Chain A
Amino acid sequence: MKRNLSIQAGFIFLLLFTAGHIWAGDAAGSSAASEPLLASGQAADNSSTVDAWTEEEWEGEWDDEWGPSDAIADPLEPLNRFFFHFNDKLYYWVLKPVARVYAGFFPDEMQIAIRNFFDNLRTPARAVSCLLQGRVKDSSEEVARFALNSTVGIVGLGDFAKDVLGLYSSEEDLGQTLAHYGAGGGFYINWPFLGPSNFRDSLGMLGDAYMHPIILLDADWEVTIGAWTFEKVNYTALTLGDYELFTKTALDPYAAVKDAYQQFRKGLIENK
């Protein structure tokens, strides 16, 4: 009961926090909303032909988008490096051997289905994030995705909405929503078990977790951790080799992962 209360309190706080910004963001949001429309219209007309950009657009894309942005602050570096090392060992000693055995038993198709299942459970959180960003259409698409994939897609194992109707996931989360309203990333955090993040995205992760059905249904923590571990093993099985290759062809893997996280999140926030 007590835990439920703190969940609700946290959630209400989050809603209030973001609601305050919605009015301020509305003006900016409406002008921004017309741009993607234009852009997608252009892409449809000129697909597979050569697009022309104006000088400004081009220079922005060519230099700024491909140059380094400001380095992320890392006041916790010693601690972060410690946990990076910890996660690295966890990967090689536990996660990888388990995932290899797992991959031997479950074929790719099954792993994909299980990934879809867990991804489907994150849909409510994505729908909320879209709504908070004023993206009503994306939000309703997420709701449609959840309804369809949970039923026709058989508890989310299949991605019916994408495969048949072409409804793609918005890939939104609360961290991106906070960024949408101007929140900076804050300092870098490399969590044990969870991996790279920053202050803003960690808050977002916490909020997203509260919208996860497994938390909403108030499952025992053993079940929650079990489900999380299963998802992690399944994901590792699907991406075996990627982590090794990236870290082995980097000189300071910690610095490389830190930057990759920053660039990856920037792309998501800007909806590239």
Chain B
Amino acid sequence: MVVLRKIIVQQKILLVFLLLLSALFIDTGFSASATENPMDQLQVAVDEILKILQSEELKEPEKKEERNQLVLNIVTDMFDFREMARSSLGQSWNTLTPEEKDTFVELFTTLVEQRYIGKIDSYNNQKVIYKKQLVKGDKAMVYTAIVDKDLEIPIVYRLEKNNGKWLINDLKIENVSLIVNYRRDFDSIIRKEQFAGLVEKISKQLEK
């Protein structure tokens, strides 16, 4: 009971604090994100991934599958893959049937996951720095960097709030946007081989 009361008091203090803050920042879009700001949410998820990657037990070669799956579980929760797939196709998305859309989202998700997992395999205790966040209503950008071999590699996340949760819909590594890059890449295939050719190419790529 004491514990419960303590929690209630803490919550009340927090609530008052948040109300004060939102009163202060009401014009600046701060209030919308006061409950949970995107940078904190991102950091929690990334910390979880880092914990998995740093676990000595999971570093064993036979645990590789398990480790990748654990990471992917978190990653799936962080990204809005459907939105990413949609914007990576640009105009072409609107010409697809619902079934084609679902197929494409699935293929696209696996493609991005593969790139992510590949990066993870080379993880070697790199540090992540959180620099700043820009929030406006349901939109946010979080500026981070990874320190790799004494070099700071800037990574900017673009997030949108969906059902109270911040989801990543693009990221820029050294100013190169993942989605813009895929859009150009896909465009170059669609122009020659249409959507069917694109699906075939991605499926083939994923088999490798």
Contact of B174 among A47, A241, A258, A267 (CB under 8 A): A267
Nearest B residue to A270 via CB reads B175
Question: Which residues of the other chain, A, contact B131 by a CB distance below 8 angstroms?
Answer: 47
Whether a CB of chain B sits under 8 angstroms from the CB of A78 is: no
How far is B192's CA from A254's CA once the two chains are assembled, in angstroms?
15
CB contacts under 8 Å to A, within B4-40, are 25, 27-30, 33, 37, 39
How far is B27's CA from A25's CA once the two chains are assembled, in angstroms?
37
If the complex has contacts A52-B28, A108-B149, A249-B114, are A58 and B175 also in contact, measured as CB distance less than 8 A? no
- Min distance, Cβ B173 to any Cβ of chain A, angstroms: 9
Whether a CB of chain B sits under 8 angstroms from the CB of A61 is: yes
Question: Which residues of the other chain, A, contact B149 by a CB distance below 8 angstroms?
Answer: 108, 111-112, 238
Contact of B135 among A50, A249, A258 (CB under 8 A): A50
Contact (Cβ within 8 A) A67 B180:
yes
Question: Which residues of the other chain, B, contact A259 by a CB distance below 8 angstroms?
Answer: 176, 180-181, 184-185
Contact (Cβ within 8 A) A71 B184:
yes
Whether a CB of chain A sits under 8 angstroms from the CB of B111 is: yes
Contact (Cβ within 8 A) A260 B205:
no
Contact of B132 among A47, A61, A249 (CB under 8 A): A47
Question: Which residues of the other chain, A, contact B27 by a CB distance below 8 angstroms?
Answer: 52
How far is B175's CA from A61's CA once the two chains are assembled, in angstroms?
13
Q: Is the interface of A mostly helix, strand, loop or mixed?
A: helix
Contact of B181 among A50, A248, A254, A256 (CB under 8 A): A256
Whether a CB of chain A sits under 8 angstroms from the CB of B52 is: no
Contact (Cβ within 8 A) B132 A51:
yes
- Min distance, Cβ A156 to any Cβ of chain B, angstroms: 14
Which of B59-67, B74-82, B92-100, B115-123 binds A? B115-123
Contact (Cβ within 8 A) B176 A260:
yes
Contact-residue bracket for chain B = 35 or more
Contact of A112 among B37, B139, B150, B175 (CB under 8 A): B150
How far is B181's CA from A238's CA once the two chains are assembled, in angstroms?
24
Nearest B residue to A55 via CB reads B136
How far is B198's CA from A254's CA once the two chains are assembled, in angstroms?
15
Contact-residue bracket for chain A = 35 or more
Contact (Cβ within 8 A) B198 A251:
yes
- Min distance, Cβ A60 to any Cβ of chain B, angstroms: 12
Whether a CB of chain B sits under 8 angstroms from the CB of A53 is: yes
CB contacts under 8 Å to B, within A35-81, are 43, 46-48, 50-53, 58, 61-62, 66-68, 71
Contact of A52 among B136, B182, B187, B198 (CB under 8 A): B136
Contact of B139 among A62, A238, A250, A260 (CB under 8 A): A62
How far is B149's CA from A2's CA once the two chains are assembled, in angstroms?
42
Question: Which residues of the other chain, A, contact B185 by a CB distance below 8 angstroms?
Answer: 250-252, 255-256, 259
Contact (Cβ within 8 A) B141 A260:
no
Contact of B136 among A58, A250, A268 (CB under 8 A): A58
Question: Which residues of the other chain, B, contact A111 by a CB distance below 8 angstroms?
Answer: 149
Question: Which residues of the other chain, B, contact A268 by a CB distance below 8 angstroms?
Answer: 175
Nearest A residue to B134 via CB reads A51
Contact of A66 among B130, B177, B182 (CB under 8 A): B177
Contact (Cβ within 8 A) A53 B180:
no
How far is B141's CA from A108's CA once the two chains are assembled, in angstroms?
33
Interface flags for B173-208 (1: CB within 8 Å of A; 0: not) read 011110111111111110000000010011001001
How far is B191's CA from A71's CA once the two chains are assembled, in angstroms?
14
How far is B205's CA from A252's CA once the two chains are assembled, in angstroms?
11
Whether a CB of chain A sits under 8 angstroms from the CB of B109 is: no
Nearest B residue to A62 via CB reads B139
Among B135, B141, B176, the most chain A Cβ lie within 10 Å of the Cβ of B176
How far is B181's CA from A71's CA once the two chains are assembled, in angstroms?
11
Residues of B near any A CB (own CB < 8 A): 25, 27-30, 33, 37, 39, 90, 111-112, 114-115, 118-119, 121-122, 130-136, 139, 141, 149-150, 154, 158, 170, 172, 174-177, 179-189, 198, 201-202, 205, 208
Residues of A near any B CB (own CB < 8 A): 43, 46-48, 50-53, 58, 61-62, 66-68, 71, 108, 111-112, 159, 238, 241, 245-246, 248-252, 254-256, 258-260, 263-264, 266-268, 272
Q: Can you give 9 contacting A-B residue pairs, CB < 8 Å? A: A50-B133, A50-B134, A52-B29, A53-B134, A66-B177, A245-B119, A249-B112, A249-B118, A264-B174
